[in-house]
Amino acid sequence: MKDRLSLLDYLTVAVFAVQAGFALHVGLNGPTERVLPIHWNAAFEIDGWASGQEFAVLLGGMAVIGLISGGGLGLYAMRASISGESPRARTLRIGQGVIAFTVAILGLTISAQTFGDLPPEGTARLSMAGLSLILFGTGAFLGRVAPNRLVGVRTPWSYKSRLAWDRSNRLAGRLLFLLGLIGLFTAPWTPQPAGTLSLIAAALVAAALSTFESWRVWRADPNRRPL
């Protein structure tokens, strides 16, 4: 277990070091013209661009934030493991992994959009695929987290009932996993921006259903604590 946790720490540092290094390279040697699409009009035509330096700042900032947050969670997880708080340590490790995975996918997505020479439709489909990967990866682990203030369906009801926490997070994990899987399979051919907007709307519905589930289970739990 210690070796695996240590490997996650190394992976976290490696992911963000590579991302920061690429951002530095682009900032020093990359194109100076506007390269990254950042805004689309109602007809889904690109009408806003970021320069190469702005792209480098964005990617580098993501790497720094990811390293601080992911590394901080790893540090707290090691302390929790040493003190014998295994459920808390496991939850922190899941949070660390989700952060590393999410920021890495975001970095890869915007890098591909910037340097992949894609048409607007291809850029949108790539965004949908990246979002689907994030939902897929998050959903795969969400049902395993213990109550905490960082990750999961954090509602007043889930904090007052362990049963409500477990069931609402399990539901959220399954829904997000399924949405991510569907999004990955449909991204290559779904019309845009309808596909990406539909995926975002479905994720919001999943969040609403999970919130409702936390209230429903809390209300029926005989061992619940009052709000």
Question: Span 167-186, mean pLDDT?
Answer: 96
Helix, strand or coil, per DSSP, at residue 36: strand
Q: Say what the pTM is.
A: 0.77
Domain end residue (candidates: 117, 133, 154): 117
What is the average pLDDT score of the chain? 85
Domain end residue (candidates: 82, 117, 152): 117
Lowest mean pLDDT: which of 30-44, 49-63, 122-136?
Answer: 30-44
> Both 59 and 145 in a single domain?
no
Lowest mean pLDDT: which of 124-128, 200-204, 219-223?
Answer: 124-128
d(CA 13, CA 28): 22
> Both 127 and 28 in a single domain?
no
Structural domains of the chain, count: 2
> Both 107 and 6 in a single domain?
yes
Helix, strand or coil, per DSSP, at residue 45: coil
Name the residue range of residue 145's domain.
118-227
> Both 38 and 106 in a single domain?
yes
Q: Residue with structure tokens 């429903």?
A: 216
- At 40 the pLDDT is 61
> Both 6 and 90 in a single domain?
yes
Q: Note the pLDDT tens digit of each residue in 65-117.
A: 888 888 888 888 888 888 888 888 888 888 888 888 888 888 888 888 777 67
Q: Note the pLDDT tens digit of each residue in 126-173.
A: 889 999 999 998 998 888 888 888 788 999 999 999 999 999 999 999
- At 2 the pLDDT is 46
- At 6 the pLDDT is 61
Beta carbons within 10 angstroms of residue 81's beta carbon: 18
- At 222 the pLDDT is 94
| Report for 13-22, 32-41, 201-210: range of highest mean pLDDT | 201-210
What is the rounded end-to-end Cα distance, in angstroms, of the chain?
37
Domain end residue (candidates: 65, 92, 117): 117
> Both 65 and 107 in a single domain?
yes
d(CA 216, CA 227): 14
CB within 8 Å of 46: residues ≥ 6 apart = 37, 39, 40, 120, 123
Q: Which of 124, 104, 115 is nearest to 187 (CA)?
A: 124
> Both 168 and 198 in a single domain?
yes
